[in-house]
A and B are shown apart, each in its own frame.
Chain A
Amino acid sequence: MTSEYGGQETWQKDLYKLLRSNEVELFCYVPDGGHKTLINESIADPKVISVPLTTEEEGVAMCAGAHLGGTKSVLLMQSSGVGNCVNMFALLKNGQFPFVTIVTMRGEFGEMNPWQVPMGQGVQPIVEAMGMHCLRAETPEEVSTTTQAALDMAYKSNQSVAVLLTQKLIGAKPF
């Protein structure tokens, strides 16, 4: 089916392949329209564990726990979820845990829902204030290279990285 906003299905499937080729085996998510293809790919893949969360901060702690066991993971969330994670990011910084979150952005380019704007505008300063790197993907071509950079920074340099899938990339949602 055609995605309801943005022509994202092709690059989302490529992104899933990239994560799997990097041996990511745990996918934590809060349901999100922008991540729909990625989430469904993870649910359909018998070789990974796909976990719906009640709040995004659970995913931060889960990813840290998975690293203690030797498993690579990713947290998929929307920009509003970043606000739910802030204190849990302290665990990542204190423990120098490798961490990658892929964030679909709201509240920026062309946003039509004013409730999304405050947290969308807060994402980058908040993430950076908590000691994480913030990488933005503006075009479909940038998604894979940016995510690969994030995975390398995380799993080779023990960094925490947020990849922002910008609203210019995914399009403004009409609700």
Chain B
Amino acid sequence: MQRYSAFSLLREGLSGHRGWRPAWTKAKPKSAYDAVIVGGGGHGLATAYYLAENHGLTRVAVLERGWIGGGNTGRNTTAVRSNYFYPESVALYDLSLRLYEGLSKELNYNVMLSQRGMLIAAHTPAQMEICARIANAMQINGVDGRLMSADEAQRRIPLLNQTEGARFKCLGGVWQGRAGVARHDAVAWGYARAASALGVDIIENCTVKDLTIEAGQITGVETNLGPIRTNRVGLAAAGATPGLAAMAGVRLPIHTYALQAFVSEPVKPILDTVLLYLGTGTYVSQSDKGELVFGGGLDRVPTHGQKGNLPAQETVISGLLEMFPAFAQLKLLRQWAGVVDVVPDSSPVIGPVGPAGLFVNCGWGTGGFKAIPAGGWLLSHLMATGEHHEISRPFDLDRFEHGRLIDEAAGSGIAH
């Protein structure tokens, strides 16, 4: 892999940048692989990377129907955090955050992890009690969480609306210092580059038309570029996963919704943390370019169309202005939507499904970006060993039969 560094930039700068090589090889499909991953987003690419890096499996293909990182990986508000309530969730998301913390160096690709901290802001004594419940759960589970006072919140976020007329004054909330944001595209590209360097084939514009199953065992996939033989298939395709799983006769507990994200025109630094406001349901951070990046709840109509809708835009934006009246000076620059795969308990589904050799990593809903390293780590473990990693075990599909849902919104009273 071509080494990226300040030195290589200098060298290339002097020679007109003629020496940069493709970040990842544009592969054509071979006839057979040891493992095939469907979905070239962050989760799929990370799975391929860890299959090669952790498990030595390099005859691996990632099939992407469009361009890599073009789904929810490139359509989110880039927050990373592990401020969760249930131990199972904390184990999962903190694995992810720990991997993120070393990711730029590991991949030799700057994913711009900015751990500027995140506040979940509460507005009533009852919400503060719930925040205490979460902060305590985080501390017991060994994660850096604490309760933040209203004064400290105001100090860190001076533009917050704390006037008498505010609909939702901030009484404080849960703070996680290690939370923050990362550059979403860089995560996909970084994993793609590292996986490609290890021999993984990344195949773009490749649509899976069917799964081939013989005697209860996956034997291959049919694609628009021809058939591919393999006895291990991992599905990591977010909102497209139900359709892929249906090819193997598997029904998943998933509804698909559009989740919108918004970007304002760039301004000089005004907000130095990630903020989730319980009252409005709006969350916001400021990007390194100076744009405010914000979002809110799901659109109310299940859909597969990557298109936002006006009522949700009005709600999210009025919520943002209620939190920060000064932001009404700014203009909306961009807005987009991703199709998210929502599970009843809003926790992911990771595990084997249907025929032998078929695995899924889906159901991340609105929170898949922060889980990319862990999702890849755990799915690669499953695909390489056929067994759950202890962290992914609770997230198996069988939890719905057992009635053992991992419902953060239910457990903590706060929807993530």
A binds B: no
Binding site for A on B (CB under 8 A): none
Binding site for B on A (CB under 8 A): none
